[in-house]
Amino acid sequence: MALKKCKTCGTLFDSIGTPFCPACVKEMDYRYKVVRDYLYDNPDQSVEEVAEATETPEWMIMSFLRDARLTMKNASGLLRCDQCGRAITSGRFCDECAAKLGMKVRGAQEAIRAGYTGPRMHTIEERKE
């Protein structure tokens, strides 16, 4: 067991590998659903507009996109492939690089799309560094 300081609210908590305390993880899950539902009705909005309308911080929306939990039409230009820098709409790599990197990345993204929402917060941690 290791005490960690939550990246969002600063509370000390017993970390099981996430940089956020259980309350914030819960909050993020809730926010995710709000943003997802909002995007469903408003697919053409920008990250700023969605952030304002759903009262969700932009970095949180970006982290959902990075985790491939959300896809946004207007994310291109904001999200770039980690490998080649090409604009992408979701996840961390473009299709080409994902294919090159093998099934590992693709499998993980598909698991998320299929509804896996377990503690997989290290990508958010990398992003915020």
In the complex, the residues that contact Zn ion under the rule CB under 5 A are 6, 8-9, 11, 21, 24, 81, 83-84, 86, 94, 97
53 or 101: CB nearest Zn ion: 101
Q: Minimum Å distance from CB 96 to Zn ion?
A: 5
27 or 58: CB nearest Zn ion: 27
Burial (Cβ within 10 Å: 0-12, 13-18, ≥19) of residue 89: middle
CB environment 44-60: b (16+ within 10 A), e (fewer)? ebebeebbeebebeeeb
Q: Minimum Å distance from CB 44 to Zn ion?
A: 25
Question: What residue has token string 């993204």?
Answer: 109
Q: Minimum Å distance from CB 79 to Zn ion?
A: 11
Task: Strands of the chain (E only): list them.
Answer: 2-5, 12-15, 79-80, 87-88
37 or 96: CB nearest Zn ion: 96
